[in-house]
Structure 1
């Protein structure tokens, strides 16, 4: 895995990580709140039961069309495995302290024009259309442990985007953190996914 320089952006309209950085699938938060109950002053019991609440479904995700096409020739030149290792921790600094990205997905995807477009859109708070399945073959992913630490091994050498998402408890928004890292065979690279 590789980490990106500390570039990140709160993603209020994005929901599922694995931004599958191969195609940088975005994450879409679920509806967090419900309106308050209204009670008439002086009313002791309602004359009829309140109507059953209808489940709310989040609106469909508006996806931005890709302008950079998947290029099989570019990906064919990239190795899928190697002996590089990436380790790190996923955290978010908030006004209330540090939030640990416990049991969250972390993705590592090669830097290509195709993935760079998706990262750029994700950092701008937009969701791009789904990645080509062929690009996903080059994306490596794992989950953090309860303390936010992650490790990925048998990675190929090269330049990669490392990304993860943490929910900010103060706002309820899921915030993406993306870093760029260069991986080398037989070497461990530490990437702190934090901001």
Structure 2
């Protein structure tokens, strides 16, 4: 699955995301979701200012969704959680791959922040991103579980067109 995502993203080459904790994909300091410091990996894909310069920072698309985690019949809603959205590029694919492997990637280039969007879920786990450019994006987050730990990283790749409104379930 990770190989399929990475391969698809190589073809898309748009932009990147920042560290998973800074972007809200993983909560700050949450070693259970991200792995311990020993699980931090170095970036091997360089930030490309040329790639980013070709990307729009805003547009007319909207992405709506609900964040939740299901395990053994238990459905846990992602209440008051940060959800992040970053354009899909080789740079962000590397971060997504690390997150799916339960690792934390080293901090991203600060220039990536201008292309990353965040939203906070409501009491029912719903989130909305508005003013998005068209393109292919990673959207991700984690859910706080009843025992206080964090769910595994939840990631989805979405494609948005100009003026499109899309609704997704962000779940694992």
TM-score (norm 2): 0.79
Contact 1:96 1:170 in 2 (8 A): no
* Alignment correspondent of 1:180: 157
Q: Per-residue deviation at 1:60?
A: 7.1
Q: Per-residue deviation at 1:169?
A: 2.8
1:138-195 CA distances to partner (integer Å, 9 max, x unpaired)? 0001100011001110001000000011123368343210000001111101121012
Task: Report which of the two has the higher share of helix.
Answer: 2
| Local SS of the residue matching 2:85 | strand
Q: Distance in 2 between matches of 1:141 and 1:114?
A: 18
Q: Distance in 2 between matches of 1:193 and 1:155?
A: 18
Contact 1:168 1:175 in 2 (8 A): no
Note if 1:73 corresponds to 2:68.
Answer: no
Note if 1:155 corresponds to 2:150.
Answer: no
Q: Distance in 2 between matches of 1:185 and 1:76?
A: 19
* Alignment correspondent of 1:22: 17
Contact 2:62 2:166 in 1 (8 A): yes
1:96-154 CA distances to partner (integer Å, 9 max, x unpaired)? 52100000001110001100000001111111101111011100011000110011100
**Structure 1 unaligned regions, length at least 5:** 1-6, 8-20, 32-58
Q: Which of these residues, 61, 71, 74, is aligned with residue 37 of structure 2?
A: 61
Q: Per-residue deviation at 1:65?
A: 0.7
- Equivalenced residues, count: 149
Contact 2:84 2:118 in 1 (8 A): yes
Q: Which of these residues, 94, 97, 101, is aligned with residue 124 of structure 1?
A: 101
Higher RCO (CA-CA < 8 Å; seq separation 6+): 1
Contact 2:17 2:86 in 1 (8 A): yes
The structure having more radius of gyration, on CA atoms, is 1
* Residues 1-195 of structure 1 mapped to structure 2, 5 A cutoff: 22-26=17-21, 27=26, 28-29=29-30, 61-62=37-38, 63-95=40-72, 97-169=74-146, 172-195=149-172
| Local SS of the residue matching 1:128 | coil
| Local SS of the residue matching 2:68 | strand
Q: Per-residue deviation at 1:61?
A: 2.7
